[in-house]
Amino acid sequence: MQILIRGATVITVNENYDVIHEADLIVNGSVISYVGPQMDWQQNFDKIIDGRGKALTPGLVNAHGHAAMTLMRSYADDVPLMYWLEKKIWPLEARLKREDVYWGTMLAVLEMIKSGTTTFADMYFFMDQVAEAVDESGIRGVLSRGLVGIGEMADKGLLESEQFVKSWQGKGEGRITTMLGPHAPYTCPPEYLKRVIELRDKLDVPVQIHLAETLDENNRIREQYGMSPTALLAESGLLAAPVLAAHCVHLSEEDMDILRDCHVNIAHNPGSNLKLGSGIAPVPALLKRGIVVGLGTDGAASNNNLDMLEEMRLAALLHKGVHMDPTIITAPEALAMATRQSAKAVFLDDVGVIAPEMKADLIMFDLNQPHFTPHHDLTAHLVYASQPSDIKLVMVNGKVLMEDGKLTTLDEEKIMFQAQLRADNLVKEIND
């Protein structure tokens, strides 16, 4: 199928941050085959989309989250991370059923598509149901079964991870890729991480892990092992593999050097880290070291939304304020963190930029809005002023998932009904 998007302002988010005004873009199957000045095309297109008065950008890439935790949105707010996990979230998660995870993920996918996210990374359990939701909805997913290396689930988690990778890697027309997901250094001791490494070497997939999210985590690991969580992962051998580390809030200079030397990618989650009182990641110092830093929302239980536009804005504003430097993360850099750099962080090399041969994962903003007027700098407008309601087109792998604000693959009313029903049942179970 060939689609022509005609006359849009294309914000490529390539290395030069090129912006092409009144451009044409051609989608051929699942990829972009042309982007550039408008031409007098002779061929017949299957679909022509009017891009006049619109800005076309790469789809947003959510580099860290737990999609089905939408069912726990606002269930446990305004408490510290470990209390939040141990007293509220883990007891509720213990009651989750496969169908709960499916509908919770569908709710997350619904929210993400409507706010411009075309790719998301996920770490959870009942991952077959997560993959089914990705397959059915048309979104792109980088998925891993969360692993806890203590207790009765340790062995089962490794077995399920292996089965999941073998079953789903490359499925959904190539939209599904897989990883291994050891939860964190405080739930996956070094001897268990060595088993994860063995499985990783067998399956040849990357790893994602929570790292240095809170001071409490750092203190626990130092008391037990005499080193930081980052140094512990390096000593275990895990960082020799391709690794995506989420959060990375509490890092020493030595820790950051380890991450740089081991080529670890990072998912920065400013909204979740602020809400849980975990702190602020040293993103400018990480970027100065040349470390790939993408953006994530984390789960909706700790955010409480999956709005990557908000995360992009937070990433730009937060570090300006902390460092009292308005130049420290510019609007183009923040947009790149939410697209090109997030794609790199989750080990995808064919999304996150608008260019020929890249996947046609695209979103289009309606510029006819008061908050976009006047059009001095559209990139700055997208970072500092855009809203999900401005997004009128969402395309993944060359397939339109939302057009004129209307979803094409999902039944919004049914998803919200099922999610509410299952959330109510979970809370009822835990209160009975």
- 76 in the same domain as 26: no
> What is the model's pLDDT at position 354?
98
For residue 201, tell me if it sits in a domain.
yes
Q: Which tokens sit at 120?
A: 């998301």
pLDDT(432) > 80: no
Least confident of 27-41, 83-97, 187-201: 83-97
Q: How far is CA 143 from CA 95, 180, 195, in A?
A: 22, 8, 19
Distance CA 244, CA 179 (A): 10
Residue 21: CATH number of its domain: 2.30.40.10
Quick check: 171 pLDDT over 80? Answer: yes
Give the residue ranges of DSSP H helices in 324-402: 331-338, 340-345, 378-384
Of 77, 1, 49, 13, give the one whose Cα is nearest residue 331: 13
The pLDDT assigned to 83 comes to: 87
**Residue 420 within a domain:** no
Q: Do 128 and 195 reside in the same domain of the chain?
A: yes
Regarding whether 396 and 318 lie in a shared domain, the answer is: no
Query: DSSP string covering 196-239, please?
Result: HHHHHHHHT--EEEEES--HHHHHHHHHHHSS-HHHHHHHHTGG
Q: Same structural domain for residues 305 and 378?
A: no
* Residues 293, 283 contacting (CB under 8 angstroms): yes
Please compute the mean of the pLDDT values over residues 319-323 and round it to a whole number: 96
Percent of the chain with pLDDT over 70: 100
The C-alpha atoms of residue 70 and residue 87 are separated, in whole angstroms, by 18
For residues 213 and 303, membership in a common domain is answered with yes
Looking at 82-96, 110-124, 198-212, which range is the least confident one? 82-96
- Please name the residues in contact with 185: beta carbons below 8 A apart, sequence gap of 6 or more: 209, 211, 217, 221, 229, 232, 233
Q: Give the residues across from 366 on adjacent strands.
A: 54
**Cα separation, 139 vs 135, whole angstroms:** 7
Mean pLDDT, the chain, integer: 97
Q: What is the DSSP letter of 159?
A: H
Q: What is the pLDDT of residue 82?
A: 82
In angstroms, the Cα distances linking 286 to 127, 158, 281, 282 are 31, 31, 9, 6
Tokens of 341: 């750099």
Q: Report the number of distinct structural domains present in the chain.
A: 2
Consecutive H or E run containing 10: strand 2-11
What is residue 390's predicted lDDT score, i.e. its pLDDT? 98
**Sheet arrangement for strand 265-268:** 60-62, 117-124, 140-147, 176-182, 207-211, 243-247, 265-268, 293-295
Considering the domain architecture, whether residues 337 and 384 belong to the same structural domain is answered as: no
Query: Cis omega (within 30 of 0) on the bond before 374?
Result: yes
Mapped onto helix, strand or coil, the DSSP state of residue 58 is: strand
How far apart, in whole angstroms, are the C-alpha atoms of residue 7 and residue 37?
Answer: 9
3-state helix, strand, coil in the chain (%, to 5): 45, 25, 35
Domain containing 122 — which CATH number? 3.20.20.140
- Please check whether residues 254 and 227 belong to one and the same domain: yes
Is there a single domain that holds both residue 138 and residue 205?
Answer: yes
**Assigned domain for 93 exists:** yes
pLDDT in tens, 380-411: 999 999 999 999 999 999 999 999 989 999 99
Query: Which amino acid belongs to residue 7?
Result: G
Instruction: Give mean pLDDT, residues 202-225.
Output: 97
For residues 201 and 79, membership in a common domain is answered with: yes
- Is there a single domain that holds both residue 398 and residue 306? no
Q: Is the pLDDT of residue 108 over 90?
A: yes
- Helices marked H in 252-377: 253-261, 270-275, 283-288, 308-323, 331-338, 340-345
Q: Mean pLDDT across the stretch 113-136? A: 98
pLDDT at res. 392: 97
* Of the candidate ranges 81-85, 96-100, 139-143, the one whose mean pLDDT is the lowest: 81-85
Do 14 and 126 lie in one domain? The reply is: no
Q: What is the dihedral of CA 117, 121, 124, 125, to 10 degrees?
A: 100
Per DSSP bridges, beta strands 47-50 and 2-11 are: parallel
pLDDT number for residue 430: 83
- The predicted model gives 88-112 an average pLDDT of 95
Report the SS3 class of residue 94.
Answer: coil
* Angstrom distance (rounded) from CA 69 to CA 423: 10
Give percent of the chain above pLDDT 90: 93
Same domain? For 14 and 120 the reply is no
Instruction: Please provide the distance, in angstroms rounded to a whole number, between the alpha carbons at the two ends of the chain.
Output: 54
Domain residues for the domain of 396 are 2-58+352-407
